[in-house]
Amino acid sequence: MVTLTINDMEVKVPRGTTVLDAARQAGFFIPTFCHEPQLTGFGACRICVVEIPGMRNLPASCVTEVAPGMRVYTESPAVVEARRTILELILANHPLDCLTCEKNGDCRLQDYCFRYGVKSSSFSGARHEYPLEDDNPYIIRDMNKCILCGKCVRTCAQVPGRAVIDYAYRGFNTKIAAPMDTPLGESDCVYCGRCVSVCPVGALSYKRLQGVGRTWELQKKPVTCTFCEAGCQFNLLYKDGKVVGVVTTAPGQGRPLCLKGRLGLELLYVENPQPPQLKKDGVFQPVSWAEALGLEGILEKIAAQKQD
């Protein structure tokens, strides 16, 4: 065990614990964008910085391990000023369409700006003007809202054989992209939804849930997919007592997840689900539920057995 003080309170945690986890166990709030408990530490967004006397700068708490006798301050004037500056830098190149954003009410950027009183940015300059990417029937990408936290990249790479997206370009032009910067609909994406489930802002959203309801109108209920032995977890979204959608839990609990599982759960639980689409010769086309779920051959065998 390691003993340290956080905001003048003595705390004991196991050796190897990060400052972020130690603070949260002690009941102290630290904001995060790029951190996800089931992903490796990244330390990119810097919104989780804390003050530790003796260190040259404000370290990222999500990748800083505790040490005996360490003193940590999570809301010192220097820390609050740094977080406000980071939020202003993000807002300098972020659309302020919160009223119509699908993520309104469940957006960390919105929550942190409210907490720290950041209403606008004092920085000005060039802004991104990426086209809205909705060339596939399952995921919408608005790269103008991306804050480059990298959670989508890391959760996609967590499943062997995927790693469909990664950082591309440099400097101001840095963005998350598929190989050769092709649209998601032209990539090898399997639309499992892992990336959508971990996105802290409105850069990624489910196309089938556009306009269905505001986040505070939807209740979540966990459900286990039984289409294979992986036992992936999904959430059923309820509105007015009816299931209106199926979404991935963050970040899939290390399981592979697949579009087949989510479509199957939509067919089981959603009233009048949207017809499925699959890519054929590089183009998405409407298909039958049997084809989407890989049940065509099975249904034919069952029909033949009944005739016999």
Which domains, ranges and CATH numbers included, belong to the chain? 2-115 (3.10.20.740), 139-274 (3.30.70.20)
Segment 7-29 mean pLDDT? 96
Residue 303 has pLDDT above 60, yes or no: no
69-111 per-position pLDDT tens digit: 999 999 999 999 999 999 999 999 999 999 999 999 999 999 9
**Better-predicted residue by pLDDT, 306 or 148:** 148
Q: Which of 129-133, 138-142, 159-163, 269-273 has the lowest mean pLDDT?
A: 159-163
47-58 per-position pLDDT tens digit: 999 999 999 899
In 10 A of CB 212, how many CB atoms? 14
296-306 as b/e: b if 16+ CB within 10 A: eeeeeeeeeee
218-239 per-position pLDDT tens digit: 999 999 988 888 888 899 999 9
How much is the pTM? Answer: 0.90
Segment 265-291 mean pLDDT? 90
- At 212 the pLDDT is 93
User: CA 38, CA 21: separation in Å to the nearest integer?
Assistant: 13
Q: Which residue has the tokens 């003796």?
A: 54
- N- to C-terminal Cα separation, the chain: 69
Q: Which of 25-34, 37-46, 211-220 has the lowest mean pLDDT?
A: 37-46
Phi, psi of 131 (to 5 degrees): -70, 150
Contact 224, 233 (CB under 8 A): yes
Q: What is the mean pLDDT of the chain?
A: 91
- At 252 the pLDDT is 61
Residue 304 has pLDDT above 80, yes or no: no
Q: Distances from the Cα of 269 to the Cαs of 2, 141, 197, in angstroms? A: 48, 26, 20
- At 123 the pLDDT is 94
Contact 253, 158 (CB under 8 A): no
User: CA 256, CA 193: separation in Å to the nearest integer?
Assistant: 11
